Homo-oligomer: A and B are copies of this chain.
Amino acid sequence: MSGSQGALPGMIEEEDGEEAALLDQRRATEAERIAEALVFASAQPVTESYIASRLPKGADVAKIMQRLKAFYAPRGVNLLQIADSWAFRTAADLSFVVQTDENEVRKLSRAALEVLAIIAYHQPVTRAEIEDIRGVQTSKGTLDVLMEAGWVRFRGRRRTPGRPVTFGTTRDFLDHFGLEELRDLPGLEELKGAGLLSGRIPANFQIPMPRGDDDLAEDEDPITQLDLEELGLLTPRGEESE
Q: Mark A residues whose CB is within 8 Å of B.
A: 29, 32-38, 40-41, 54, 74-77, 88, 90-91, 94, 97-98, 127, 138, 140-145, 147, 153-157, 163-165, 178-180, 183-184, 186-187, 190, 192-196, 198-199
Contact = CB atoms under 8 A, between A and B. Distances in A.
Contact of A33 (B94, B183, B198): B94
Residue among A77, A88, A155, A193 with the highest chain B CB neighbour number at 10 A: A193
A127 B40 contact: no
Given A157-B184, A183-B163, A37 B77 contact: yes
B37 A91 contact: yes
Contacts of A192: 140
Given A143-B193, A195-B141, A94 B34 contact: yes
Closest 8 pairs between A and B when the two form their complex, measured CB to CB: A144-B195, A33-B76, A36-B76, A37-B76, A37-B90, A141-B195, A140-B195, A143-B194
Contacts of A183: 157, 163
B196 A184 contact: no
B196 A144 contact: yes
A131 B155 CA distance: 30
Contacts of A195: 140-145
19 contacts: A33-B75, A33-B76, A37-B76, A37-B94, A37-B97, A37-B98, A38-B76, A38-B98, A40-B76, A40-B88, A127-B194, A138-B193, A141-B195, A143-B193, A143-B194, A143-B195, A144-B194, A154-B194, A165-B187
